[in-house]
Each structure stands twice: as C-alpha cells, then as structure tokens.
Amino acid sequence: MWPLTTDAHGLWLALYLLTFCLHAVFVGYVLIGTTYALVQAVRRSEDPIAEQIRDRLPFMLGCGITAGVAPLLFLQLLYQRHFYSSNLILGPRWGAVVPALILGFYALYVAKSSEKWRKLALGVGSLCFLFVAWSWTEMHLLMQDEPAWKTMYAAGDRLYGDGGVAPRLLLWLGMMTSLFAGVAAWTAVSQKLAAPPLRRLAVFGLAGKLVAGIALAWLASRSGVVETHGWLYLFIIATVVELVGWIAMLRAPHGIGLWVVTAGGTAALVAGAVVREAPRLVILEPPRPAALEAGGFPVFALTLVFGVVVLVWIVRTIRTARPE
Amino acid sequence: MDPVPYYPVNEFGPLMKGLVIGGVGILHVFLAQFAIGGGMLLYAFERRAQRGDADARAFVDGYFRILVLVSFVLGALTGVAMWFTTIQVGARTIGLMVDEFHWLWATEWVWFSIEVCSGYAFYRFGARLDDRARRRLLGLYAFAAWMSLFWINGILSWQLTPGGWLEGGGMWAGFFNPTFWPSLLFRTAVSTTLAALAACVVINMMDLPRERKLALIRGAAKFAVPIAAMPLFALWFLSAIPEDSRSWLLGGSMPMTMFVGIAAGASALIGGYVIVGILMKKLTLNVATAALLLMLAFGATAAGEFVREGARKPFTVRGTLYSTSITPAEVEVLRKTGATTHDPYPLRDEHRYPSAQLILGAKVHRTLCDACHTLHGSNALVELVRTWTDDQLRLNISKLQRTKGFMPPFAGTADDVEAIVQLLKWEAAGTPDAWPVSNDPATLAQITRWLDEVGTSPMGGQ
C-alpha cells in the first residue's frame, strides 16, 4: 500500500509516521495548552480546564520529547543527507531548539507552582514552544529545497523565510488545537467536569479545524496538490467525521461525540501525516548498504511488545492509587 | 565507489568542535549516569523505608523530585542536544552510527520511554500507592534506566573498538566489542558513585538530627563502594583498546596522560574518602564536603570522557571513518581528485582572500582541518606551525600521519598541500592585502613525492 512498500524503506517510513503521530499528539497539547493556560491566566478566569492543563503540561512535554526521539531516528534513515544538510545550514539557530525546550520545561514548572510568576512563565513557555514549531516547519521545507542550500550557506543566512512557512505553521497550529482539545476533553471527562468546559473544548476543536482548513487552502493555492494515492480523500473523510463529532459534543457534551472525535481525529492524523509526507517522498534517499544490512530488528520488536505491556501495567498500577 | 559526500561546515569562533561536543557530552553523561545510579539508590532506600525507616521514606519522596527534574529534563534534553551537536560536528559519524545501529537505538528508545513513564508514575502517584506498587515502579525505573545505558554503551564503545565488525562479523560483533563489558561496568560504577554523592548532598539538607542524617549518609555511601573496582575496570578497558591508543594514554600524548591522571586521581580521592572515611572510620560528611566530592566526580567524568574521545584519534569510528569524516578508501580518491574539487559549498568569506590559491587553502582547511582545529582559537593551526620553515610545513602536512600518529593521512593533492601551507603563512603574517602565488613546479613535485612516499594508510588503527 502506497507509500508503505514491503522493503526496509516501507518499514522505516511506517514507524516514522506512527511515532510522528504520537509525538504530534503530545506536542500539540503542550503548545496549545500552554497558550490556553496563558490566556486564562491573563483573563484571571476560574477555569478547571486551565488548572488541569497546568498540572499536566510538564509531564506531557516530557512525553512529547521522548516520543520525538523515535521519528528523529527514522528521519535520519530516510532523508539523512537532506536532514543533516538543512540542520547544518540553519546551524546555531537550529541548535537553539534544545535550550528553548529546557527553558520552556522549567517555565511550565514555575507556572504550575507559582501564581505570582504564572503569566510570565506561561508566556515564556508559549514563545519557546512556538519557536520550536516554527524551526521544525522551516527545517521540513528547507530539506526539500536543495537549490537554496548553497545560497543560504554562502550568505550565512540562518532564516529560511520561504513563503510556505507561514501557511504550513498555521496548518499545524490548527491541527494542534484540535488535538489539544481532544486530549483535554478526555481528561475533563475522566475528572467528571461539567458540560460548559467540554463545550468550550468542542469550540476549540472546531476552530482548530477551521484554521487548518484555511491554511490548507492557502498552501494548496501556493504549491498545488501532489499525488497522494487516495490518502487525501481519507484525510478529508476522517476530518468530516471528526467535525461531526465536535458538533455532536457541542450539543451533548457527555454523549458519544468525543468517541467520534477520537476515531475521526486519529484517522485524520494518520492520513494527514501521510499527505504531509507525500511531497517529501521525491527526496527519499536510496537505503545505504550499512542501514539495509543492520541487524537487531527482532530485539526491537520484542522490546516494543514488552514496552507496551509494561506501559499498560503502569497505567493499571496508577489506577490503584488512593484518591488525593 | 560512491562520491565523497560534502556537508556544509559551521565554525564555532575560537572553539574547536571537540570542545563544543565535549561540553554538551560531559554534561549529558554526568546527568544521565547520575539518573541511572539514582534509580538504583532510590530502590534500595525504598526497601529500607518499607522496613520501617521513616527517614528513608522522607528521603525517597524528597530526593526523587530533584532526580526527576534534573535527570528527566536535562538528561533527556541534553541527549537530544547530543544528537543535534554531533550532526553539527560530524554528520557522517552520526549517520553511520544511525545506519548501523538504528534498531538498537530504537530498542534503547523503548527502554527510555519505560524509564520516563515509570519515573513519572512514581513521582506523581507514588505517595498514594501501596508499598508493593511503589517498589515495583522504582525497580522498573532503575532497570529501564540501566538498560538505556546498556544499549548506548555498546554503540559508543564500538566507535573505539569495532572488534569483529571490521572483519564482517556483523552488527552484534560490533555491539559486543572488546570494550563493551569493561566500559559498561565502569559506567555502572560511576553511576552509583554519582548517585551516592548527590544523595549525601540532599541528605545534608534534610531537616533531621545529626545522628539520623549520618545513618542515611552511611546507607547512601555504600552505593559508592563499586568505585573500589574502577581501577580493575579501567585496566581491563586499557588492555582492550588498540595498542596505539593505549600508548597515547600512557605517556605518548602528555595532555591525554594528564587527563588519565586527573580522572584516576579524582576517583581515588572520592573512593578513599567515602570508603575509608565514611564507611570504615565513621567520619561525618557535611553538605560542603559532599558538594565538593560531587564536583570532583564531575571533573573525573569530564576527564574520563575526554580520554575516551581522544583515544579514538585519528578516527571517529576506528578503521572506518577518520575524524575528518572521510573514509580510508576516500583518502586515496581525494589524493587524485583534490580535497575540495567536488565541494559544492562556497566560502562565506571568500572576499577576504587575495588569491585563488588562498581560497583553495581555506577550503582545504574547512574540509580537512576544521573538525579538530581552528586557525587562531583553540588548537590553533597558525600557532602550532608558526615557527616551522616552509619546507618543514610542506613535509609535515604531506606526511601528516607520520608527523603525529593520531593525525589522519592528508586527503588531497600536492596543490592542496601548497594551498594550505600558503594559507597558514598568510594568516601568520597578519593577512596582508597581497600575497604571492606559490606554484613552483619543483616544489609541487617534491610534495607529490612526499605524498607518494607516505601513502594513504594511517599509522595506527588499521
């Protein structure tokens, strides 16, 4: 099934896409959640969702970073020369991603523990995470623009600044808003929150999709649509299902809307990841012999199964915790 | 053979690249090893707490917050930083490591994920869980953290001693290489020692009477006992590394020997104080002394990592990839085609050079020297060669691997040698506006003879 071939590339690509989706869920929650908490802190609004988010943000960032390591690994197998070259051209600007994440992480802890510094900390955190999102967007596009490498390098230019960066970033911010709303809605339901906060999250979910749709149209008008072998249609259908779910949730916050959102949103995320990857597949590098011959897959597969079992056990264990 | 891949090269001002990767690496190793030992120590103290020691329980619940913040955040993030920095410093090296060991790296990622989830679960819910669940979560955390070390250790030690991998033995022969076990045991001992010292700092800050603090300190100090076995592991490691690397560590290269001495001396001081002072003589340990010992351990870790990195020279992957990111087979090709003929990237400061020969020299420097040297900053080439005569420069660069055994063979033509010679002389002369072109056929013929005489094999590490 396109683009997942039966060779090593197909396996690396499948793992890249799946782990990327997992990463996107966490970082979407972090970026939009931090901004949401900031807005509520500025408004001085008594908001149980904002409180819940502040509490979970450091953990979610930890998960986001951990989940991000796997797609980073597979990216280096698929597009090594392109990724490294772009990395080197952006240079110290790219290197600033890690200090930004460290600063952002500690800002989240400050926001969680200090009411006095909360607004400042959330503001700093939002800027840090937005910087990281913007840097990754630039990196993604620069990888595909080899003719720009020489010019940028010669000029010592660290900003790519292509016209595609803004709509692409906007598209992600929209997608992340819906992802955030979905995850936050599940935690709200698990804590038996009342209907109004859930309705607010449904509005966020719909708004995120609207922003993403506008950005997608903007992007398509700039660079056209590449062949996606039906994945684009799947993405559109899944998005429609998700929209129906959000509308259902808006009307009946404790109904089945959230389940529909989750099913549609998951399918839209996976299909969207494939659609996102489609234009980049033209620069897919032939597998290097060392990578093709590398052993260890059975060990990884067994460890992964063990890891999933252990994670399930951890979830079951913490469910036995006494109430606070 | 595939064409030699060229990547854009970044410079870091007066810092040589080894200092950049070393700085990030040392911080990461220190934090990550502390997190591993910390997990084991917490598990032991949790068992003690469950036997009725309330102070141990207070320690676990207080200490763990610091451990989580430090190791999860900085340890994990500096790990990502290591990846990014290695790309900046030696993209081909990290590329080869990823190609060769990606499934093991993915395996390590699973263990790291388990470590993060179990650690967070304990941090967040530990106080509300029953004893059995607490013990299991901490045990899982400690084991997963050590398993991360297990996998990464094999990949890192492969760089210095690829072992049977070089003879086509495959990935596992490279992973379980000659320095795998001594390195793993050494790092495990370092991990428990770091955790013990950090614990002593934390215990000193707890609000407890002196005697109860001392009881906890003695419990924590037991975790530093493996330091006594470190000389054994170090000797095992030394016996397993290549002969030329060993000779540099043991007097052949004085900076390396001094770092070996610093690492050994600092470890001996720490081990002596903890084992003889605290455990045998029952001495006390205040917060200042504990912090000082921890800083000493940081110094020992830094020196040890410097030694490990330095011992690989002239390779980043022994026998496979030089520190210039060029393979031995590619050296032969570049001797014919020139080091920079196919480099697509122009210089960023081409306008400052008064001749095409100096431009070529700057490109040769960027391709062959920049990985370990700067022109005027740290490990500055201009200062290293300032007193050399012209012919001495030409001879020493042509026969680079004989000039210093830990240098790779020069990977360029006679024109490249002359271009870098002229660049170094021009830089030493203060970059004047005009500089004569040196293209005497007799000189170039002599350089060619020297290049042919010395060949393309390294002095060590074949």
SS (H, E, C) B323-351: CCCCCHHHHHHHHHHCCCCCCCCCCCCHH
- B330: which 2 tokens? 């590619």
Which of B291, B321, B351 terminates a domain? The answer is B321
pLDDT at A191 over 60: yes
Checking ipTM against 0.90, whether it exceeds it is yes
Mapping DSSP onto H, E and C, the string for A58-76 reads: HHHHHHHHHHHHHHHHHHH
Q: For residue B460, is it within any domain?
A: no
**Sign of the C-alpha dihedral computed for residues A93, A99, A105 and A111 taken in this order:** negative
Q: Is the CB of A187 inside 8 Å of chain B's CB atoms?
A: no
B398 and B284 within one domain: no
Distance from the A188 Cα atom to the nearest Cα atom in chain B, whole angstroms: 18
pLDDT at B26 over 70: yes
pLDDT at B180 over 50: yes
pLDDT, mean of residues A125-130: 97
Instruction: Flag if A294 and B105 touch (Cβ within 8 Å).
Output: no
The boundaries of the domain holding residue B110 are: 17-321
* pLDDT tens-digit series, residues B400-432: 999 988 999 999 999 999 999 999 999 999 999
Instruction: Flag if B5 and A81 touch (Cβ within 8 Å).
Output: yes
pLDDT, mean of residues B260-283: 90
- A45: which 2 tokens? 């609004």
pLDDT of residue A104: 95
Distance from the A86 Cα atom to the nearest Cα atom in chain B, whole angstroms: 9
Q: Decide: helix, strand or coil at residue A83.
A: helix
pLDDT at B181 over 50: yes
Q: B-contacting residues of A 127-186, CB under 8 Å? A: 149-150, 153-156
Mean pLDDT of chain B: 92
Q: CA-to-CA distance for A17 and A271, rounded, in angstroms? A: 10
Q: For residue B201, is it within any domain?
A: yes
Instruction: Flag if A320 and B107 touch (Cβ within 8 Å).
Output: no
Q: For residue B3, is it within any domain?
A: no
pLDDT, mean of residues B197-203: 92
pLDDT of residue B69: 64
B95 and B239 within one domain: yes
Instruction: Flag if B346 and A317 touch (Cβ within 8 Å).
Output: no
B408 and B270 within one domain: no
Mean pLDDT of chain A: 94
Q: For residue B165, is it within any domain?
A: yes
pLDDT, mean of residues B42-60: 94
At residue B320's C-alpha, the angle toward residues B317 and B322, to 5°, is: 70
B337 and B271 within one domain: no
pLDDT, mean of residues B30-44: 92
pLDDT of residue B432: 97
Q: Is the CB of A311 inside 8 Å of chain B's CB atoms?
A: yes
Instruction: Flag if B116 and A63 touch (Cβ within 8 Å).
Output: yes
Q: For residue B1, is it within any domain?
A: no
pLDDT, mean of residues B73-102: 90
- Least confident among A41-45, A147-151, B239-243: A41-45
Closest in A15, A85, A310 to B140, CB measured:
A310
Closest chain B residue to the Cα of A77, Cα to Cα: B99
DSSP A79-138: SHHHHHHHHHHHHHHHHTHHHHHHHHHHHHHHHHH-STTHHHHHHHHHHHHHHHHHHHHH
Closest chain A residue to the Cα of B12, Cα to Cα: A92
- A28: which 2 tokens? 């979407």
Report in angstroms the alpha-carbon separations of B285 from A172, B210, B290, B295: 54, 10, 6, 15
Reported in sequence order, the residue ranges of chain A that DSSP labels E, i.e. its strands, are none
pLDDT of residue B459: 79
- B228: which 2 tokens? 């006594």
Q: CA-to-CA distance for B18 and B95, rounded, in angstroms? A: 18
Which of B321, B347, B374 terminates a domain? The answer is B321
Q: CA-to-CA distance for B274 and B330, rounded, in angstroms? A: 51
Place of tokens 């297990």: B150
Distance from the B91 Cα atom to the nearest Cα atom in chain A, whole angstroms: 6
Instruction: Flag if A300 and B346 touch (Cβ within 8 Å).
Output: no
Residue type for B349, please? Answer: D
pLDDT of residue A142: 96
Instruction: Flag if B9 and A102 touch (Cβ within 8 Å).
Output: no
* Residues forming a β-bridge with B374: B380
Q: For residue B6, is it within any domain?
A: no
B317 and B354 within one domain: no
pLDDT of residue B462: 45
pLDDT of residue A261: 97
Q: Is the CB of A43 inside 8 Å of chain B's CB atoms?
A: no
Which of B289, B321, B353 terminates a domain? The answer is B321
B309 and B371 within one domain: no
> Among B87, B123, B321, which would you mutate to test the A interface (most chain A Cβ atoms within 10 Å of its Cβ)?
B87
Nearest to B458 by CA among B414, B413, B402: B402
* pLDDT tens-digit series, residues A25-42: 999 999 999 999 999 999
Determine how β-strand B321-322 pairs with β-strand B315-317. antiparallel
pLDDT of residue B58: 92
Residues in chain B: 462
Q: Which of the four pLDDT bands, split at 50, 70 and 90, describes residue A283? A: very high
pLDDT of residue B64: 66
pLDDT of residue B68: 63
pLDDT at B337 over 60: yes
Residue type for B199, please? Answer: A
DSSP B269-293: HHHIIIIIIIIIS-----HHHHHHH
B329 and B310 within one domain: no
B373 and B268 within one domain: no
Answer for the pair B217, B282: CB distance below 8 angstroms, yes or no. no
Most confident among A226-230, A300-304, B255-259 (mean pLDDT): A300-304
pLDDT, mean of residues A63-86: 95
Instruction: Flag if B91 and A306 touch (Cβ within 8 Å).
Output: no
Q: For residue B7, is it within any domain?
A: no
B450 and B342 within one domain: yes
Closest chain B residue to the Cα of A74, Cα to Cα: B102
B256 and B390 within one domain: no
Question: Which residues, 6 or more positions from B379, have their beta carbon under 8 angstroms from its beta carbon?
Answer: B16, B18, B372, B373
* pLDDT tens-digit series, residues A93-107: 888 999 999 999 999
Residue type for A70, please? Answer: A
pLDDT at A252 over 90: yes
Second-level CATH architecture of A8-319: Up-down Bundle (1.20)
Q: Is the CB of A96 inside 8 Å of chain B's CB atoms?
A: no
Instruction: Flag if A87 and B104 touch (Cβ within 8 Å).
Output: no
pTM, rounded to two decimals? 0.94
- Least confident among B76-85, B172-181, B262-271, B410-419: B76-85
B110 and B136 within one domain: yes
Q: What b/e readout covers A222-239, taking b as 16+ CB neighbours within 10 angstroms?
A: eeeeeebeebbebbeebb
Q: How many domains does the structure of chain B reveal?
A: 2
Q: For residue B304, is it within any domain?
A: yes
CATH of the domain at B262: 1.20.1630.10
B415 and B266 within one domain: no
pLDDT at B74 over 90: no
pLDDT of residue A315: 96
Answer for the pair B110, B152: CB distance below 8 angstroms, yes or no. no
Closest in A77, A105, A307 to B98, CB measured:
A77
